[in-house]
Structure 1
Amino acid sequence: MMTFSARLRVVFGALAFSVLLIAAQAARAEQPAVIDPDASAVSEDHLLQQEPIIDGRISIPDTRAAVLEQPFGRDWRYYRVVILRGIGALAILGTLAALVAFYLWRGKVRIEKGRSGRKVLRFNGFERFVHWMTASCFIVLAVTGLNITFGRPLLLPLLGLDAFSAWSVWAKYAHNYLSFPFTLGVFLIFVMWLTGNIPNRTDVEWIKRGGGIVGRDHPPAARFNAGQKAVFWMVVLGGSAMVLSGYLLMFPFYGTGIYEMQLAQMAHATVAMLFMAGILGHIYIGTVGMEGAFEAMGEGTVDLNWAEEHHSLWLEEEATQSRDATRPRATAPPAE
């Protein structure tokens, strides 16, 4: 026969089993009959769209390391890999194609009266130094910057992994360090030539008459015509935008987060692509597009007939200043 304590243990065991059975039945009733892994409650895309950044928990001081998911990064990557490459190819290759077509149609703009053999000073040595310093830095910055966007799909298959890696390392150093003299050059260009690049009514007339590029007309212009003023402001404004966004990328997370860094990279690369396309037009006019134009920055002087055709107002001003400088000053009669 069972003792009283043994019977008591059996009763309590049966009660405990009954409680567990009831609890299991209740939990089973609360679960859905079919689990849908694609339901919105468990959708990853739905979760990522709820917050711009999903953070985790970390034990180190750098709070940026806590970022687990940042949905805008997908948009940034798509822009950098797809859209930016399209913008760059369209802007640069499209500009090159347009310049080739224009040259075949118009040809080189010649000095209609021919060369006079007389020279007039257009840019002094310091102005030419600043121009070529800025231009040289820009060319290296452009080539090394294009490597970031187009290097992997274009150069990597041609050079191979080792050569492309070595080139990319040196390109990165050149891009970073040459940004400093480029910044100085943009600032000096702004200071040197600001007064001569303020738009005025003469520029409107110059544009209406084709600027001596379209057709055979030669509208009057001061030291800088409307086209050169457009290049000046492109360099100043576009260069400043690239400088500011570039330094944010060179010195990351100083007052910026991941989102701001991505915006800075998008702005920097986009402005750079458009800048390069615009500078191609400037290079065209200064080299093969116009006779005598390169001498202005190459030698500092231009032919008198070239100056008369393309910058007649400036030539008149120079002649007036020269006459005033050589005219003898009036002196007071000697005291008796």
Structure 2
Amino acid sequence: MKQMIKALLLMVAVMLPGLAMAETADTAAATASQSEVLWQAMKEGATGYTTSQSEFHNQPINVYDERIIPLRNVLMAPGLMAALFGMIAIFVLFIMVNGISKLHGGFSGKMVHRWSKRDVAIHWLGAIPCILLILTGLMLIAGKFFVEPILGQAAFASMMAVAKPVHDYMAFPFMAGWLLMTLLWAKNQIPAKYDIAWFMVVGGYINFGPFKGKHPDAGFANAGEKLWFWAFALFGLVISISGVVLMFPQYVEPSRTLSLLAIIAHGLSAIVLCAFSIVHIFMATVMSEGGMDCMVSGYCDENWAKQHHNLWFDEIKANGTLKYKED
């Protein structure tokens, strides 16, 4: 009898874990099934109750325009990566083949006043946040697809914890710089007839073939700088407005469609501005010998002014506003 009881107890001990596992599996399957049913119901437009009175307040998810979310993943993420790293690769290759635009007369040693201290400060007020916004925005839009698979989830999460607040805080000085530059510099960015000739010879930056040695006319701003300025003014406006919508939904109270459209407008404008910014940075720091001095000291070498902005130099020389830096 004792042997039979021991045998029965042994059978129960063996069977209980299996029964528990079977019950757990059944529970998990039931939970998964319930989740699928709930998710399907939400996708079909199921509504609920909430005290909010905003538009679509009773809809758990957006079911009326599903094309917007895939657009962010399919277009914006690779687009921003291409705008940043693609443009860098193109410029590196171009410089390896073409070289930079050197001053044909060398440095004169005489520095001509070009930008005021106020203008230099405004430039960096917009430029530094712009660079940080590009890098952090890249993480926010494309990091999940291009960074996380390489660094891993933990490292990516830590980077995102820094990228998000930096992106938000840098928006304010960027918008201030954008507004000041747009208002104060527009007068020197008006297109002129000679700008067409500037584009025809690529600004004189090509060092081979029929373009070699060409120095097209340019005023205070050349045609390339004008194109950059108006792109910055236009897409900076879109980025600023869409950014405010995304950062302050409690005040703007956008619909879900407006919020998603703001994400798309923000991302697409960022792609354009990123590409233009890379061109602008390379032209100022690498391509144009002596060009970086303008936004460091506010002065440029006299030979640089004659070679790249001859009409402006002739104008300030003729009207008596030409000012040299004192030693």
TM-score bracket, shorter-length normalisation: 0.7 to 0.9
Deviation at 1:169, TM superposition (A): 2.2
Instruction: Report Cα offsets for 1:248-288 as digits up to 9, x if no partner.
Output: 11112624211111111011011101210111111111011
Alignment deviations for residues 149-176 of structure 1 (CA, whole Å, 9 cap, x no partner): 2222333345444443233122211111
Q: How far, CA to CA, are the matches of 1:211 and 1:139 in structure 2?
A: 25
Partner of residue 266, structure 1: 264
Which amino acid in structure 1 is aligned with residue 68 of structure 2? W
Task: After superposition, give the CA deviation of every residue in 1:207-255 in whole Å (9 maximum; x if it has no partner).
Answer: 2233121332111211101011011111111111100111111112624
Q: What is the number of equivalent residue pairs in this alignment? A: 277
Q: What is aligned with 1:127?
A: 119
Deviation at 1:71, TM superposition (A): 2.9
Tell me: CA distance 1:284–1:323, structure 2 relative to 1, closer, same or farther (3 Å). closer
The equivalent residue for 1:21 is none
Q: Report the RMSD for the aligned CA atoms in angstroms.
A: 2.4
Code of the residue aligned with 1:147 in structure 2: it is M
Q: Tell me whether 272-281 or 153-162 shows the greater mean CA deviation.
A: 153-162
Correspondence for 1:221:
218
Which of structures 1 and 2 has the bigger CA Rg?
A: 1
User: Following the alignment from structure 1 to structure 2, what is the Cα–Cα distance between the partners of residues 265 and 61?
Assistant: 23
Higher mean Cα deviation, 293-302 or 166-175?
A: 166-175
Query: Aligned residue for 2:273?
Result: 275
Alignment of 1:164-203 (within 5 A): 164-203=156-195
Q: Which residue of 2 aligns with 1:248?
A: 245
CA contact (8 A) 2:105 2:303 kept: yes
The amino acid that maps onto 2:219 is A
Matches within 5 A, 1:221-240: 221-240=218-237
Residue 317 (1) aligns with residue 315 (2): yes
5+ residue gaps, structure 2: 1-38
2:130 is matched with 138
The match for 1:71 is 63
Q: Is the 8 A contact 1:221 1:311 kept in 2?
A: yes
Q: Describe the SS at the equivalent of 1:220.
A: coil
Letter in structure 2 aligned against 1:270: L
1:257 alignment partner in structure 2: 255
Question: Following the alignment from structure 2 to structure 1, what is the Cα–Cα distance between the partners of residues 243 and 123?
Answer: 21
The farther-off stretch of 131-140 and 58-67 is: 58-67
Contact 2:112 2:322 survives alignment (8 Å): no
Taking the aligned partners of 1:324 and 1:243, their CA distance within structure 2 comes to 37
CA distance in 2, matches of 1:324, 1:68: 65
C-alpha deviation, 1:324, in angstroms? 9.6
Q: Is the 8 A contact 2:80 2:142 kept in 1?
A: no
Partner-residue secondary structure (3-state), 1:319: helix
Question: Could you say which residue in structure 2 is the equivalent of 1:298?
Answer: 296
Q: Deviations over 1:36-58 (max 9, x none)?
A: xxxxxxxx99x97xxxx835241
Q: Which amino acid aligns with 2:315?
A: E
CA contact (8 A) 1:55 1:69 kept: no
> Could you report, residue by residue, the CA deviation over 1:84-121 in whole angstroms, capped at 9, with x for unpaired residues?
22322333333223212221221010000111111101
Closer, same or farther: CA 318–186 of 1 in aligned 2, 3 Å? same
Q: Among all aligned residue pairs of Structure 1 and Structure 2, give the percentage whose two residues are the same amino acid.
A: 30
Matched, 1:61 2:52: yes
Q: Which sections of structure 1, spanning at least 5 residues, go unmatched?
A: 1-43, 326-336
Q: Does 1:205 align with 2:197?
A: yes
Alpha-carbon separation, structure 2, partners of 1:78 and 1:158: 22
- When normalised by structure 2's length, the TM-score is 0.78
Kindly indicate whether the alpha-carbon contact (under 8 Å) linking 1:57 and 1:66 is maintained by their aligned counterparts in 2.
yes
| Post-superposition offset of 1:73 | 5.2
* 8 Å contact kept, 2:81–2:138: no
Cα 1:308–1:246 shift into 2, 3 Å: same
CA 91–155 in structure 1, closer or farther in 2 if over 3 Å, else same? closer
CA distance in 1, matches of 2:102, 2:243: 40
SS in 2 for 1:112: coil
Provide the rounded CA distance (Å) in 1 between the counterparts of 2:73 and 2:146.
13
CA distance in 2, matches of 1:187, 1:121: 24
Q: Does 1:94 align with 2:86?
A: yes
Residue identity opposite 1:114 in structure 2: G
1:302 aligned counterpart, secondary structure: strand
